């Protein structure tokens, strides 16, 4: 994770992290030695090729891909290069909806799914878990905020003890009452990458741009108009069920897709 530019602890004990300003897209052409493709923007197809290769390599070494992997065994699964240096080819997957943030599928296979999530200004997810998966989040457009949560009190201890003793995932049964509290806020800008799994925290994500801030990007010559925030999510293995932590009651849902391959479903 990049060094935070600002790190403070508020009166309520919540850690607030504001990462260093992201490098603009045009950086690719000026710092070629530090970027892939000799300074040329990375295509999303190349990212997919690299990800497929990384996961095959992990499996070839006998690693089972899930959130119990050691960090050394999944550090190659990296969306940072694409996030900091791309030509905007994610825009063809970026469909928005006025009512709710939406998940647009780029690719799903047995190892991972790559999803472009589009958030109109003010759209925020509920607090949720990530099953047994890794979750990487890369900001492609807009100003985003991630709020991490921990379970409060004896429930937190019980969940941790159960997970350690049985290998069970750290997710409570549907219908149980769980109190969570925010412990960390990550302000994220274009190019920032976050990582989370169930052993670390629960979280919610949202676009905190105000509607007045939404306008065509200054450097846009592709016809792309900023409508809010766009994030690239890499889940591994693909997430088939998500627990929602709401009003002290846990519910479960199966996440769907708003589009696949840029085509509305």
CB 146 within 8 A of CB 202: no
Tokens of 227: 């409508």
CB 39 within 8 A of CB 28: yes
Phi, psi for residue 2 in degrees, rounded to 5: -60, 155
According to DSSP, the β-strands at 228-236 and 134-141 are antiparallel
Instruction: Answer yes or no: is 31 a known binding residue.
Output: no
SS3 15: strand
Cα separation of 178 and 138, whole Å? 29
Say how many CA atoms lie within 13 Å of 193 toward its Cβ: 17
Tokens of 186: 């990550």
**At 108, which helix (H) or strand (E)?**
strand 102-108
Q: How far is CA 83 from the centre of its chain?
A: 12
Instruction: Answer yes or no: is 134 a known binding residue.
Output: no
Instruction: Answer yes or no: is 203 a known binding residue.
Output: yes
Question: Residues marked as binding?
Answer: 128, 130, 203
Question: Residues marked as binding for Fe cation?
Answer: 128, 130, 203
């Amino acid at each position: 994770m990049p060094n935070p530019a600002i790190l403070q602890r508020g009166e309520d004990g919540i850690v607030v992290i504001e990462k260093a300003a992201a490098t603009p897209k045009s950086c690719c052409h000026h710092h070629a030695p530090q970027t892939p493709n000799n300074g040329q923007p990375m295509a999303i197809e190349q990212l997919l090729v690299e990800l497929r290769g990384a996961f095959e390599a992990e499996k070839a070494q006998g690693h089972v891909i899930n959130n119990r992997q050691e960090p050394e065994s999944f550090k190659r699964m990296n969306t940072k290069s694409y996030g900091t240096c791309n030509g905007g080819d994610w825009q063809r997957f970026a469909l928005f909806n006025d009512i709710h943030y939406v998940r647009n599928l780029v690719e799903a296979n047995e190892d991972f799914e790559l999803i472009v999530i589009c958030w109109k200004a003010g759209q925020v997810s509920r607090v949720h878990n990530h099953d047994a998966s890794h979750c990487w989040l890369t900001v492609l457009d807009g100003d985003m905020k991630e709020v991490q949560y921990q379970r409060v009190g004896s429930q937190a201890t019980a969940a941790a003890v159960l997970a350690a003793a049985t290998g069970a995932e750290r997710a409570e049964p549907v219908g149980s009452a769980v109190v969570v509290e925010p412990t960390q806020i990550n302000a994220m800008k274009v190019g920032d990458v976050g990582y989370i799994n169930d052993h670390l925290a629960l979280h919610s994500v949202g676009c905190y741009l105000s509607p007045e801030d939404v306008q065509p990007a200054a450097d846009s010559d592709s016809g792309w108009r900023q409508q809010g925030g766009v994030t690239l999510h890499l889940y591994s293995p693909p997430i088939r069920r998500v627990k929602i932590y709401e009003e002290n009651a846990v519910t479960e849902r199966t996440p769907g897709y708003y589009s696949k391959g840029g085509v509305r479903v």
